[in-house]
Copies of this chain bind each other. A is one copy, B any other.
Amino acid sequence: MNHRGKIKIDFEPLGKRGDCFTNNSILECAELTGLGINNICGGHGKCHKCKIQIMNEMRSEPTSAEKDIFSPEDLAAGWRLACQTFPDTDCKVHVPPESMTTSQRLQVEGLALSVPLQPNISTYDVTISPPTLANAQADADRLIQTINSQYNLNCDRIDSDVIKDLSHNLRLFNWKCNVSVYNNEIIAVTSSSNSLGFALDLGTTKLAGYLIDLTTGKTLASKGMENPQISHGEDIISRITRIIESPKEAHHLQKVIVKAINRLSLQLCKEINASISEIMESIIVGNTAMHHIILRLPIKQLAYSPYIPAINQSIDIKARELGLHFAQGSYVHFLPNIAGFVGSDHIAMLLSADIRKMDGLVLMLDIGTNTEVSLIDNGNITTVSCASGPAFEGGHIKDGMRAADGAIEHLQITDASVNYQTINGVTPIGICGSGIIDILAQLYDAGVVDKGGKIINSHPRVRKTQDQLEFVVVDEDERSGRTSITFTQKDIRELQLAKAAIRAGIQTLLNVTNHTEDEIQMVVLAGAFGTYIDISSAITIGMLPSLPFNRFKHIGNAAGIGAKLALISYDKCIESKNLPLNISYVELANNKNFLNLFVEALSLGNN
């Protein structure tokens, strides 16, 4: 077409609207609108990183590039490449998180959540008549009576720390105040009307915190922070070992993490000019070991077979009992764990999806050092925990690194060169998990690596070092003389072990529930890493089952989303407590077939 018609494109879920011309691709329109979509190959339909879904009737004829990667089912559902699609009429476009650039993805996390607002905490504006000799009712009794009659509540308790300041505060505030109530208990009496919630995904390596306005349900700020316990043990097992060896260490590690949470929440509050004491409720999710460490629960029985948690069911505890500086009487809720190696972060992930409304068989994965996988079948959940190891977080990989600025997160190997995209577009310094999977998939597809995972030396960028073969991703010249970034034979072995653990876990789930792969209607990928990986690559290396692209869904930091949902929705909070009743946990260490499946799953390719 050569007339430049004006059209409007709505980009979801960010809700941005762009004024575009009909001879622009959707990728170009997005750029004009200020929306970052991945693009490694320069808009030539080669890197396949700009996948989008067109949500209305406007359908452009698929190009050959699109036909290569999408199944007819996917194409019919509106899946296209943004660089290959030139709309000629107004349309609505869904941009999945994995196609967004990093900074854009963060914006998505700030969106209001899609449940009715029904927080556990309510805040009321109260004016009290001052006492006299003729009406000398006690301060707390007077407050409770006033709020109950004014708002038709059934408050019957007041936090023991709140009472300590109540007499002073009521007089200071001249008998006008804001009162926060949780479960019939007055947990804060303030002069501010702010009512904030704090959701935390407490990971082994990273803390992700979210500050929520409990009166609107909106995410006001969010922030990640490295878990400072890393200096006391990179992985959770080494931290557990230290605690078992020295009880003092348990105390120290708890202090360290509490201090970090106080700092993180303080930073979040500063961003919106609020006070940390305005945080009226918190939800913390994390793996079982982190849960035990912050709650000072015993860890020894968790470390040895049969890996028994001290407690799985949900825990409500006053923030101050942990050392957190939130509102005086505020509670922290720990969602339930599932097993020794499946924590409340997995419960939160399940919560983020609307399991009751799921049709057919659904697989949900949170990929990391430990990969938790659940198979959901009509509300019944079966869960396994796969020891996938640190490869996906860059661990044990020669030039591996965490997903941070300068990490190669996606790349495309052509005949002799490599195109890559780094996080935030800065000079490459290493390769993160999604990049590693891309490399292996493309080397396998190009025949450089065989089904068994062996480099068979047929690419200009493969070279032999002292002891092994390696593929040069960024050479010395490209790095202005600094050491090259390479992907080695040993790296491939690490990746094989990691992906086989996951794939064998999936297969075990299917076996114990008497299902087959092709019955899976949807595969939901959660977690930072899950959001970034390229599904085609993951299928190519045999990490995920070979299903139409349309059946895969990235949901970002689902643990964080689940925690936020439990914060703003009483129903979701109750659902989280009841979820474990529907979960059967399958211990892979106790499963006779697992080892067979694991060995089979070491091969690359899918069948």
A425 at the interface (CB under 8 A from B): no
**1/0 contact string of A141-180 vs chain B (CB within 8 Å):** 1001000000000001010100111111001000000000
Q: Which of B141, B144, B313 is the one whose CB lies under 8 Å from A140?
A: B313
What bracket does the count of chain A residues touching chain B fall in? 35 or more
Q: How many copies of the polypeptide does the oligomer hold?
A: 2
A286-312 residues with Cβ-Cβ distance < 8 A to B are 295-298, 300-301, 305-312
A416 at the interface (CB under 8 A from B): no
On whether A298 and B164 interact (CB within 8 A), knowing A131-B308, A306-B132, the answer reads: yes
Whether the Cβ atoms of A339 and B140 lie closer than 8 Å is no
A32 at the interface (CB under 8 A from B): no
Whether the Cβ atoms of B134 and A311 lie closer than 8 Å is no
Whether the Cβ atoms of B311 and A136 lie closer than 8 Å is no
In the bound complex, what is the Cα–Cα distance between A313 and B321 (angstroms)?
24
On whether A167 and B300 interact (CB within 8 A), knowing A139-B310, A140-B310, A321-B160, the answer reads: yes
Whether the Cβ atoms of B589 and A306 lie closer than 8 Å is no
A99 at the interface (CB under 8 A from B): no
A569 at the interface (CB under 8 A from B): no
Whether the Cβ atoms of B590 and A140 lie closer than 8 Å is no
Whether the Cβ atoms of B590 and A308 lie closer than 8 Å is no
Whether the Cβ atoms of B310 and A163 lie closer than 8 Å is yes
Return chain B residues, CB-CB under 8 Å to A445.
Answer: none
A585 at the interface (CB under 8 A from B): yes
Whether the Cβ atoms of B339 and A308 lie closer than 8 Å is no
**1/0 contact string of A116-141 vs chain B (CB within 8 Å):** 00000000000000011110111111
Whether the Cβ atoms of A165 and B340 lie closer than 8 Å is no
Whether the Cβ atoms of B298 and A136 lie closer than 8 Å is no
On whether A133 and B589 interact (CB within 8 A), knowing A160-B295, A164-B296, A164-B297, the answer reads: yes
In the bound complex, what is the Cα–Cα distance between A156 and B158 (angstroms)?
22
A337 at the interface (CB under 8 A from B): yes
Return chain B residues, CB-CB under 8 Å to A115.
Answer: none
Return chain B residues, CB-CB under 8 Å to A168.
Answer: 298, 300
Return chain B residues, CB-CB under 8 Å to A164.
Answer: 296-298, 310
Known: A136-B308, A141-B313, A166-B298; 17 extra A-B contacts, CB below 8 A, are A131-B306, A132-B306, A134-B590, A136-B340, A138-B312, A139-B301, A139-B311, A140-B310, A156-B313, A160-B317, A160-B321, A164-B298, A165-B298, A167-B297, A167-B300, A168-B300, A171-B301
Complex A-B: 8 CB contacts under 8 Å = A131-B306, A137-B312, A138-B308, A138-B312, A141-B313, A144-B313, A156-B313, A166-B298
Query: Taking beta carbons and an 8 Å cutoff, which residues of A are in contact with B?
Result: 131-134, 136-141, 144, 156, 158, 160, 163-168, 171, 295-298, 300-301, 305-313, 315, 317, 321, 337, 339-340, 585, 587, 589-590
Shortest 9 CB-CB contacts between residues of A and residues of B: A140-B311, A138-B312, A138-B309, A133-B590, A167-B298, A133-B306, A167-B301, A136-B306, A167-B310
